[in-house]
Amino acid sequence: MSSATKMTDETRLAEEIVGVLDADAVRVCSDDRDSIRFAIRSAGMKLRSIVLRRWALRRLLSDPAGPVKVEYLQRELRRAAGQRVEYAYPRKSVAVRRDLPPVLKPLAQVR
């Protein structure tokens, strides 16, 4: 599979997840190598930005339980729209712990 096809699949999955919000309020803000970012413009929502990491979307695409997880993410995003300013997948605490060097991982688990 070419990298262009993978990026298209990731973008399609990201749009499917974000599709639960009002289409007029959501627009792609930045589409870079590491993440897909959406900006939200709606007076009725507290949410202003959505950040979806590409590595997490790729993992979700190959997961056999992917459709169930996508539905969960859609519900979580709908709930977050009224409560948070930014929605990130995976959550920043999970992403940071995943990216830590092996020496620091025990320190991150202490929290």
**36: which strand partners?**
31, 52
What per-residue confidence (pLDDT) applies to 65? 93
Separation CA 52–CA 18 (nearest Å): 10
Q: How many residues does the chain have?
A: 111
Task: Specify whether the CB–CB gap between 29 and 39 falls below 8 A.
Answer: yes
pTM of this prediction? 0.75
Any idea what DSSP says for residue 103? T
Tens digit of each residue's pLDDT (9 = 90 or more) over 42-101: 888 899 999 999 999 999 999 999 999 999 999 999 999 889 999 999 887 655 555 556
Which pair of structure tokens corresponds to residue 93?
């605490």
What per-residue confidence (pLDDT) applies to 106? 55
Tally of domains in the chain: 1
Preceding omega of 106 cis (within 30 degrees of 0): no
What per-residue confidence (pLDDT) applies to 111? 46
Which pair of structure tokens corresponds to residue 11?
């973008």
Return the number of other C-beta atoms located less than 10 Å from residue 69's C-beta: 13
Task: Specify whether the CB–CB gap between 58 and 11 falls below 8 A.
Answer: no
What per-residue confidence (pLDDT) applies to 27? 84
What per-residue confidence (pLDDT) applies to 102? 62
Between 100 and 10, the higher pLDDT residue:
10
What per-residue confidence (pLDDT) applies to 24? 77
Tens digit of each residue's pLDDT (9 = 90 or more) over 12-26: 999 999 999 887 788
What per-residue confidence (pLDDT) applies to 4? 57
Q: Whole domain around residue 36: which residue ranges? A: 3-110
28 membership: H or E segment, kind and range:
strand 26-31
